[in-house]
């Protein structure tokens, strides 16, 4: 028995990542580990003593960065997200040849569907490219989610939901994205990026949204080395004492500002609109305004970036006046683009913005139900393909809130039951 439980650090060896901080691959691995709750230690190449102790001399590691040292001592060089996930035993294979329900995406909607489906005896499997929780999983604190009067962090909500889904028997296949969907009779087959095929009698697309890209010259070259999409929970501590800029006026941007204010020397919130009130919850606006090191600039857009090996400054435009502000990191939290990659080859009906149409919306959309084979109309949340449902942010007309997505994810399971009964065998 030890007398000290020093900040609850694990007592067994951790994952070590060695590389340059300004590495997009390194960032993707940090982001993956952080969002999956896997402790790791980042060792920067500038730390010659640590690097020398970890990487044996005689090999030219600099060409093989980032290097990942797994807890069992195996070195992956250069490390990839897929390789790290596999090395940590996080890549499982489907246990069944056919499921009742395949869920694409393990955000709030997908996790809710997994919990309700599995708890009601359905064989359910969820496919997740990065980590359970989706965008909500990166939220530092959700303060208006029912039942948590002190708030709950997105990662904690996701961790609990994942444990709950697994306890009921749902499977979660991590670190692989959906590459395509095919039909096998009335079944659907999800083809994953690693070649795995998952067959099921019904399917739910709950893949959520991606952050909208910021249209600024050369921004892609700085991804992971100063520019990040989303709240970047893995980067918060690394921003200690830095100058951070956040683009966006919604709750995600506000929550990111609150989180980074705890670490950064200064946070600038850049909002294209004329006020925060139009897009951010009142409680967050109050919090942001009380933070002494957070400055909100409205009517402002980023028009340029300055960098050397990583981001150094932003060029911003406010009402036609161009200015330069120092920034070590830029987090982009603007809007959303429906994440339908992999699901777009099977003939799903989309709205003008690319979101999946479902239910009654299909009937009012010209041509959306051409080829619909059944005498009944699509069920609520059912797409133009029988037995293929959509829920959460990716669905056209959905309310883009965590609680709404969870509601849809739980509601869709009763519709899946109807579909399975229609097919027979339930």
Q: How many residues does the chain have?
A: 426
Of 91, 141, 223, 420, the one binding another protein by CB under 8 A: 141
**350 Cβ contact list (under 8 Å, min separation 6):** 338, 340, 344, 356, 357, 396
| Burial of residue 168, with CB atoms counted within 10 A of its CB: 0-12 exposed, 13-18 middle, 19 or more buried | middle
Does 39 help bind another protein (rule: CB under 8 A)?
yes
- Please, are residues 200 and 99 in contact by the beta-carbon 8 Å criterion? yes
Task: Supply the Cα-derived Rg of the chain in whole angstroms.
Answer: 23
Whole-angstrom distance, CA of residue 124 vs CA of residue 422: 18
Residue-wise burial string across 178-211, b where 16 or more C-beta atoms lie within 10 A, e elsewhere: bbbbeeeeebbbbbbeeebebbbbbbbbbbbbbb
Report the 10 Å Cβ neighbour count for 410: 18
- Please, are residues 251 and 281 in contact by the beta-carbon 8 Å criterion? yes
The helix or strand, by DSSP H or E, that contains position 238, with its residue range, turns out to be: none
212-241 residues in contact with another protein (CB under 8 A) are: 233, 236
Stretch 278-317: interaction string toward another protein, x if CB under 8 A: ----------------------------------------
Does 29 help bind another protein (rule: CB under 8 A)?
no
Does 9 help bind another protein (rule: CB under 8 A)?
yes
Does 135 help bind another protein (rule: CB under 8 A)?
no
| Number of residues located near another protein, criterion CB under 8 A | 35
Q: To 5 degrees, how large is the angle CA 135–CA 327–CA 280?
A: 40
Whole-angstrom distance, CA of residue 212 vs CA of residue 234: 20
Of 152, 214, 223, 285, the one binding another protein by CB under 8 A: 152
Nearer to another protein, 70 or 390 (CB): 70
Of 60, 93, 97, 150, the one binding another protein by CB under 8 A: 150
The nearest distance, CB 297 to another protein, in angstroms, is 24
Stretch 166-185: interaction string toward another protein, x if CB under 8 A: xx------------------
Whole-angstrom distance, CA of residue 169 vs CA of residue 360: 33
The nearest distance, CB 115 to another protein, in angstroms, is 15
The nearest distance, CB 6 to another protein, in angstroms, is 5
The nearest distance, CB 294 to another protein, in angstroms, is 14
The nearest distance, CB 259 to another protein, in angstroms, is 6
Q: Which residues bind another protein (CB under 8 A)?
A: 1-12, 34, 37-39, 71, 89, 140-141, 150, 152-153, 155-156, 159, 163, 166-167, 233, 236, 258-259, 262-263
């Amino acid at each position: 028995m030890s007398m000290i439980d020093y900040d609850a650090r694990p007592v067994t060896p951790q994952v070590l990542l060695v590389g340059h901080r300004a590495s997009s691959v390194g960032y993707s691995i940090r982001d993956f580990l952080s969002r999956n709750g896997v402790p790791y230690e980042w060792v920067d190449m500038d730390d010659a003593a640590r690097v020398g102790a970890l990487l044996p001399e005689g090999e030219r590691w600099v060409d093989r960065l980032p290097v990942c040292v797994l807890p069992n001592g195996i070195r992956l060089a250069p490390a990839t997200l897929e390789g790290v996930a596999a090395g940590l035993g996080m890549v499982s294979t489907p246990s069944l040849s056919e499921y009742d329900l395949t869920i694409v995406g393990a955000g709030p909607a997908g996790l809710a569907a997994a919990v309700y489906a599995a708890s009601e005896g359905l064989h359910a499997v969820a496919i997740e490219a990065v980590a359970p929780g989706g965008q909500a999983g990166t939220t530092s604190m959700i303060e208006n989610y029912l039942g948590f009067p002190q708030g709950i962090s997105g990662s904690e909500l996701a961790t609990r939901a994942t444990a709950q889904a697994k306890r009921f028997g749902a499977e979660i296949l991590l670190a692989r994205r959906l590459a395509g969907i095919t039909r096998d009779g009335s079944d659907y087959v999800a083809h994953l990026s690693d070649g795995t095929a998952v067959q099921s009698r019904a399917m739910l697309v709950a893949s959520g949204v991606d952050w909208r890209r910021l249209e600024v010259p050369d921004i892609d070259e700085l991804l992971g080395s100063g520019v990040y999409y989303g709240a970047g929970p893995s980067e918060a501590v690394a921003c200690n004492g830095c100058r951070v800029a956040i683009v966006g006026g919604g709750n995600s941007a506000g929550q990111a500002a609150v989180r980074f204010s705890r670490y950064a020397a200064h946070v600038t919130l850049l909002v294209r609109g004329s006020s925060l009130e139009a897009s951010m919850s009142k409680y967050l606006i109050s919090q942001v305004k009380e933070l002494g090191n957070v400055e909100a600039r409205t009517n402002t857009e980023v028009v340029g970036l300055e960098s050397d090996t990583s981001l150094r400054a932003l060029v911003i435009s406010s009402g036609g006046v161009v200015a330069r502000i120092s920034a070590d990191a830029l987090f982009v939290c603007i809007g959303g683009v429906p994440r339908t990659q992999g699901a777009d080859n099977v003939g799903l009906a989309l709205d003008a913005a690319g979101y999946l149409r479902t239910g009654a919306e299909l009937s009012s959309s010209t041509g959306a139900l051409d080829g619909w084979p059944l005498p009944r109309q699509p069920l609520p949340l059912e797409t133009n393909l029988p037995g293929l449902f959509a829920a959460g942010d990716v669905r056209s007309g959905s309310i883009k809130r965590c609680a709404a997505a969870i509601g849809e994810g739980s509601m869709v399971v009763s519709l899946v039951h109807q579909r399975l009964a229609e097919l027979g065998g339930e």
